[in-house]
Amino acid sequence: MSSRTLPEFDLLLPQSIPEAVELLATHGGRITVMAGGTDVMVALKFSQQPAQLPEYVMSLEYVPGLAYVLYDPAKGLRVGAKATVADLLESPDVKQHYRSLWDAAQVFATGQVRNTATVLGNLLRASPAGDCSCAIYAIGGTVAFQGRAGRREVDIDDFWISYGQTARQPDELAVELVLPPPAAGTHSAFRRLTRTSEDLAKLNVAVQLRMSGETCVEARVAMGCVAPTPLRLKQTEAQLCGKALTAEVLERAAAAVAGEISPIDDKRSTAEYRRQVSGVLLRRTIRQACGVA
Amino acid sequence: MSEQAIVGTNAPRVDVRDKATGQAQYAADIQLPGMLYGKVVRCWEHAHARVKRLDLSAAAASPGVVRVIGPKDVTPKRYNSSVLDLMVSESMHDMLGDIDDQPIFTEHVKFQGDAICGIIARSEEAAERAAAKIVVEYEPLPVYLTAEASRAPGAVQFTPEKPGNLAFQLPEPMFPNHALGGGDVEGAMRDADIVVEDAFYVPKQKQCQMEPHAYVAKVDSGGRLTCWTSSQMPKLVQRKLAKLFDLPMNLVKIVPTVIGGGFGTRLGMISEPQACAMALAVPGHPVKLQTLREEDWVISPSRHPGKYWMKIGFKRDGTPVACDARFENYKGGYYLDASGTAFTAGAWLGGMYRFPTLRYRGESYFTNQGLTGAYRGYGNPQTNFVLEQLIDRGCAELGADPVEWRKKWHKGVGDDGWCPGVTYPSCALDQCLDRGAAAIGWTEKRRKYARQEGTIRRGVGVAVMNHTSGAMPMLLEHTACTVKLNEDATAEILFACSDMGQGSHTALKQIAAETLGFPFDHVQLSGGTSDVAGFDIGAHASRTIYVGGAAVKKACEEARRQLLERASLQLGVPADQLDIRDKRIFVKADPARGIEAEAITRAGVYHFVDPMTGEPGGVPGQIQGYVSFFAPHNSPPFGASFAEVEVDTETGEVRVIELVNAHDIGRAINPAAVEGQLEGGIQQGLGFVLSEEIDYDAKGRVQNNSFTDYKMFGPEDMPRITTILVEDADPIGPFGAKSVGESGLVSPVGAVANAIFHAIGIQFTEAPITPEKVLKGILEKGVRDYASIRGNR
């Protein structure tokens, strides 16, 4: 059960990144960091057990300079900790160079949530269903943390530890996401299945392919809702690399998916169904990335 | 009938400005001096348990707490939160066996969310904090989630009044052998050439009204209890509360608040008893009780789920010979509405086709699911899902066109409607079928989609339905209405039946203005508190326009009669030769001769005798019309829905492309409002058939009592909608109107299921038809062309 009233906590309102980092260094694990609040507020209203409650909520509301989405052809895309999902949608660079992320952002939650929820928040929530998380995983990149000791960058491949757990240390502030610039011949796509349009995914998949002529020279495939964290399908990727993406290759890749995933029954679907359609969704996403409807 | 100036127009909604600008005051918005805040402590960990120990002391000592009340602090009387028992005669009540089995605070938890005790505090936060300090020890009991489980020998009895946990079955002697219908079903079935039969499951669907339930209650210094509530049935709630708390009705006042959606969930009471019990514990202080969405979800009734078996026999030429059916529904932990849906599901079945023999058995079993009660359609969507799919299976076996078969065999004027002996006075279902079929391109698409290739398959389906306009003769159909004319010839109407957002008060104002011959804006219509408004049973059974509208019309006709009589004296022309338009009374044969209505109403109120001559200035007395109206009929509306769907055979996903709702409405008082009702009905019907169901875990704890996990169709999920208003005036309804409030939801259910059948040749017996079920069906049975089914070959 939720509550109409929030539990008691102290609200911390740092005015700068150093101040935020200082607070984290002091209180560490007793702090819940809040940017958009779309996950934090829900969690607070539903977690009435004292053990689950934070002593402090640190809002980034007054920390300046974190709401950017910046693209540089040489360095790639930088997404600040306070950039919202809606900010991604307003960036023509994201639409042009990171199409899978843009597509994920477009169906992410609802309009109201997109206006408030942050991209980094979606990564830090460490839910296996995050749509932006799935797209970003397939693109690859790094998340930058700021601590007292300085800046630390973690590859997205090492970012999710387990359900709800990331590589962020309690005294670190996640400050930005950096996505590499797409190499020539890069194509990406994102698809998902939901119960109704405005919903969390029951299954989502993102692919990023680098093509040289007809041949796929590099592939990253990420799938959500099929494991405790977003999952990279490396065996499936291996089925694609070095090959022309013929119907037969796609079928083999699709068939490989079921062996890599470990879905469960939950409120949104069943393990059986997820196994049944995961390959189909992958095949369709690859075709979409290649521009074949 | 002369041409109408106001009825039939899209008059602006009377509630739209307040609602759009946030000025509408819902119960939760009410702030009163000295107000306290109530919190009902509920059992969340068990769906079935006994309370072994309840310790209120720590909560009572919590800061800001004024009182904590448990089962021993409130009346030991029990209640039935539904109001069906008030709407039948005493003898019928005894036969139906309705019982009062709900305590205000329970010691036997029968569903998750059952109320344990109440906290009254100076703030909501203080009440919440105190709630966490209530100590309850439970003895868990076995949890029964189905009828099979709860009727098993040795099962814990929910109430000694209902042995075997059978809350209700159609009673003897009204229903011989506990069955509705008649004729030798088994014999006729033996003689049938084609028999179709299956066991279905119909889902537990939630109304999902926008406004969570909220109340304010207060006891004043004279001991009078006032309750602010958004119940759909304020007058019956007044009587229910008076009975529960042993108060004369004049000491119970109901203030109806703006209703943020009902769809049946406010039919009767939800937490009025708890709110009033708290107010009685702190006399002089208003107590506000609000529910959370997740709380509202479990404490307010849902649609009745359950098993629905049906068997239909046909002759080779398509003649239906027998229908045998049994709906075994899963009640929640208490009795409310156990009799209603179990009966009506069969009543709609009996009202649809000319089955020469019919046997329907309806039973309600207690379970530990959340409560079940009224939800828009009230048993009809359940029947539609089952009946209409089996009819289409029969049509496929027979090689019959589903539209043509329905046109041939549906009931119509002169046939018995849902109640034997009450015949249909009007029926425009053939027109609905013809116009709907044309709108969706039925003939061409049925042929085209009967043979397809590829992973994406399309299909079109049809379903029909009959409903009702009010519940005469099964239930009381009584509405009192007063219209008083002000001295400036404007009208004020007092009418207790609530507007739940469906536009009923707007349409009623149109009926009043039309009848009086006054402009729309010169008529005021107020629900009024129970002090002021006359009797009315409330907004349910799609009755507000058909019954309430007839009452408003009659009251206005009475006022109009008096007005014309006085005008007749002045003009020297018989009253029946006069008419009123725009507040001017004129001679029909000579419209230039007339008198302003205001001259008469003013003279009636400001009446003087000329001191010079001693002559009276007109007829004295304020004109008022009053009626205590009992509906003479239930003029059922009919409807036909056509759906086009696309089925993804690799994922099982179903997309509804188009939905045509052609509806036999008699007469649209406000066409835009009627279309709105039909479109809203489609949204909920699509949810029933494709996406909505409340889930429980094995312990009876609800898994999706929020919009995060209970999925209704949103704007992007909705298909292209075409609504067709078939206006063929009913001889009884006001201005020819029949109902439209519930019925738009019903036949989209069957139409979508049948469109899926047409697309992939598979029928699904469990609603909602989710992609998971579709894909399973495809993997087990294989996609097949509709054209390959026996009768179509």
> Is B3 a residue whose pLDDT tops 90?
no
Nearest-Cα distance to chain B for A279, in Å, is 10
Phi, psi of A36 (to 5 degrees): -75, -30
Q: Is A184 left (phi over 0), alpha (psi -120 to 50) or beta?
A: beta
CA distance B706 to chain A (A): 10
pLDDT in tens, A265-290: 999 999 999 999 999 999 999 999 99
> Quick check: B793 pLDDT over 90?
no
CA pseudo-torsion sign B154, B160, B162, B163: positive
What are A218's strand-pairing partners? Answer: A210
The partner residue sitting opposite A197, judged by closest CB among B128, B295, B717, is B717
C-alpha distance from A198 to closest chain B C-alpha (Å): 7
Contact B514, B7 (CB under 8 A): yes
Q: What is the pLDDT of residues B501-554, one digit of tens each?
A: 999 999 999 999 999 999 999 999 998 899 999 999 999 999 999 999 999 999
Q: Which residue has the tokens 């009276």?
A: B616
**Distance, CA of B760 to CA of B200 (rounded, Å):** 19
Quick check: A196 and B714 CB within 8 A? yes
- A270: nearest CB among B714, B717, B772: B772
* pLDDT tens digits, one per residue of A169-195: 999 999 999 999 999 999 999 999 999
Taking the C-alpha atoms of residue B221 and residue B217, their distance in angstroms, rounded to an integer, is 14
Q: A24 to chain B, minimum CA–CA distance in Å?
A: 29
What residues contact residue A6 under an 8 Å CB cut-off, 6+ apart? A41, A44, A45
Among positive and negative, which fits the CA dihedral B415, B417, B421, B425? negative
Q: Which residue of B has its CA nearest to A284?
A: B650
CA B432/CA B753 separation, integer angstroms: 19
Please check whether residue B770 touches A, CB under 8 A.
yes
The reply to whether B695 touches chain A by the CB within 8 Å rule is yes
Complex confidence, ipTM: 0.96
Indicate which of A2, A38, A195 best probes the interface with B, i.e. most B CBs within 10 Å of its own CB. A195
Which pLDDT score is estimated for A45? 86
Q: Residue B485 has what DSSP assignment?
A: E
Q: How confident is the model at residue B790 (pLDDT cuts 50, 70, 90)?
A: confident
Assign B1 a pLDDT band (cuts: 50, 70, 90): very low
CB contact under 8 A, A4 and B703: no
Kindly report the number of other CB atoms within 10 A of residue B697's CB atom.
12
Check whether B746 has a pLDDT greater than 60.
yes
Instruction: Answer yes or no: do B713 and A3 touch at CB < 8 A.
Output: no
Portion of chain B with pLDDT greater than 90, in percent: 97
Task: Please classify residue A292 by burial: count the beta carbons closer than 10 Å to its beta carbon, then call 0-12 exposed, 13-18 middle and 19+ buried.
Answer: exposed
Which residue among A4, A196, A281 sits closest to B292, beta carbon to beta carbon?
A: A4
For residue B695, what is the nearest residue in chain A, using CA coordinates?
A267
Q: Is A195–B691 a contact, with Cβ atoms under 8 angstroms apart?
A: yes
Peptide bond into B173 cis (omega under 30): yes
Q: What is the pLDDT of residues B94-130, one digit of tens each?
A: 999 999 999 999 999 999 999 999 999 999 999 999 9
Q: What pLDDT does A48 receive?
A: 62
Taking CB atoms and an 8 Å limit, are A198 and B714 in contact across chains? yes
- Across the interface, whether the CB atoms of B709 and A267 are under 8 A apart is answered yes
Chain A residues close to B652, C-beta within 8 Å: 273, 277
What number is the average pLDDT over the span B703-725? 96
> Is B766 part of the contact surface with chain A (CB cutoff 8 Å)?
no
CA-based nearest residue to B230, from B252, B262, B208: B262
pLDDT at residue A47 in the model: 75
CB B163 within 8 Å of CB B157: yes
Q: Tell me if residue B133 falls in helix, strand or coil.
A: coil
pLDDT in tens, B375-426: 999 999 999 999 999 999 999 999 999 999 999 999 999 999 999 899 999 9
pLDDT at residue B2 tops 60: no
Q: What is the Cα–Cα distance from B596 to B188, expressed in whole angstroms?
A: 68
Residue B386 tokens, joined: 């089952």
Per the document, the length of chain A is 293
On the CB side of A145, CA atoms within 13 Å amount to 21
Shortest CA gap B715–chain A (Å): 9
CB distance B651–A270 less than 8 Å? no
Predicted local distance difference test score (pLDDT) of residue B107:
98
Task: Please pick, among B328, B742, B766, B772, the residue that the annotation labels catalytic.
Answer: B742
Query: Chain A: residue nearest B43 by CA?
Result: A1
Contact B652 A273 (CB under 8 A): yes
Of B124, B776, B779, the CB nearest to A4: B124
Please answer yes or no on whether B651 and A4 come within 8 Å at the CB atom.
Answer: no
Q: If you measure CA to CA, which chain A residue comes closest to B768?
A: A195
- Give me the residue from B132, B711, B772 closest to A48, CB to CB: B132
Question: Any idea which of A222-231, B82-91, B644-653 has the lowest mean pLDDT?
Answer: B82-91
Question: pLDDT tens digits, residue range B580-624?
Answer: 999 999 999 999 999 999 999 999 999 999 999 999 888 999 999
B63 touches chain A (CB under 8 A): no
Under an 8 A CB cutoff, do B292 and A2 touch? yes
Task: Look up the CATH number of domain B382-467+635-792.
Answer: 3.30.365.10
Domain boundaries, chain B: 31-141+210-261+266-299, 382-467+635-792, 478-630
Position A50 scores a pLDDT of 67
Q: Is B742 a catalytic residue?
A: yes
Chain A nearest-CA distance from B113, in A, is 10
Q: Pick from B230, B44, B129: which is nearest to B705 by CA?
A: B44
Q: Provide the pairing of β-strand A203-212 with A215-224.
A: antiparallel
Q: Residue A251 has what DSSP assignment?
A: H
Inspect the interface and report whether the beta carbons of A197 and B703 lie closer than 8 Å. Answer: no
Residue among B758, B647, B748 nearest B692 (CA): B748
Domains B31-141+210-261+266-299 and B382-467+635-792 alike in fold:
no
Residues of chain B contacting A198 with CB distance shorter than 8 Å: 714, 716
Order of strands, edge to edge, in the sheet holding B624-630?
Answer: B523-526, B491-495, B478-485, B624-630
Mean model confidence pLDDT for chain A: 95
pLDDT of residue B566: 97
Higher pLDDT, A44 or A70: A70
Q: Beta strand B36-42 with B287-290: parallel, antiparallel or unpaired?
A: parallel
How far is CA B614 from its chain centroid? 58
Q: List the one residue out of B570, B601, B538, B703 whose CA is nearest residue B204.
A: B703
Tell me the chain B residues in contact with residue A269 when contact means C-beta distances shorter than 8 Å. 772
Least confident of A48-52, A215-219, B148-152: A48-52
Distance from C-alpha of B362 to C-alpha of B669, rounded to nearest angstrom: 36
What band does A233 get if pLDDT is binned at 50, 70 and 90? very high
The domain defined by B478-630 folds into Aldehyde Oxidoreductase; domain 4 (3.30.365)
The tokens for B460 are 């079109």
pLDDT value for A6: 85
Contact B185, B361 (CB under 8 A): no
Cβ contacts of A267 on chain B, cutoff 8 Å: 695, 703-704, 709
- Mark residue B583 as left, alpha or beta (left: phi above 0; alpha: psi -120 to 50; beta: remaining): left
Instruction: For A5, name the nearest residue in chain B, comparing CA atoms only.
Output: B125
Indicate which of B114, B651, B653 best probes the interface with A, i.e. most A CBs within 10 Å of its own CB: B651
Q: What is the DSSP string of B552-580?
A: HHHHHHHHHHHHHHHHHHHHTS-GGGEEE
Find where tokens 């989502």 sit.
A204
Count of C-beta atoms within a 10 Å radius of residue B354: 14
What chain A residue is nearest to B779 in terms of C-alpha separation? Answer: A276
B131: nearest CA partner in chain A: A3
Which of helix, strand or coil describes residue B199?
strand
Measured between CB atoms, which of B42, B650, B772 is closest to A280? B650
Q: Yes or no: say if A93 and A108 are a contact pair by the CB < 8 Å rule.
A: no
**pLDDT tens, B755-772?**
999 999 999 999 999 999
The residues on A that touch B, with CB distances below 8 Å, are 1-5, 48, 193, 195-200, 267-270, 272-273, 276-277, 280-281
Report how far residue A222's alpha carbon sits from residue A131's, in angstroms, rounded to the nearest whole number: 10
B412 and B351 Cβ atoms separated by less than 8 Å: no
Residue of B nearest to A48 (CA): B132
Pairwise CA distance, residues B196 & B200, whole Å: 13
Q: Which of residues 113-132 of B touch A (CB under 8 A)?
A: 124-125, 128, 132
Taking CB atoms within 8 Å and a gap of at least 24, the contacts of A284-288 are: A284/A191, A285/A189, A285/A190, A285/A191, A285/A205, A285/A206, A285/A207, A286/A189, A286/A207, A286/A209, A286/A240, A286/A245, A286/A250, A286/A253, A287/A250, A288/A189, A288/A191
CB pairs under 8 A between A and B: 60
Q: Name every chain B residue with its beta carbon within 8 A of the beta carbon of A193.
A: 651, 653, 771
Q: Give chain A's domains with CATH numbers.
A: 10-59 (3.30.43.10), 69-179 (3.30.465.10), 186-289 (3.30.390.50)
CATH code for the part of the protein at B31-141+210-261+266-299: 3.90.1170.50
3-class DSSP string for B164-176 = HHEEEECCCCCCH
Whole-number pLDDT of residue A7:
86
Tell me which chain A residue has its CA closest to the CA of residue B694.
A267
- CA B781 vs. chain centroid, Å, equals 38
Q: Which residues of B touch A268 (CB under 8 A)?
A: 709
Q: What is the mean pLDDT of residues B449-462?
A: 97
User: Inter-chain contact B771–A270, Cβ cutoff 8 Å?
Assistant: no
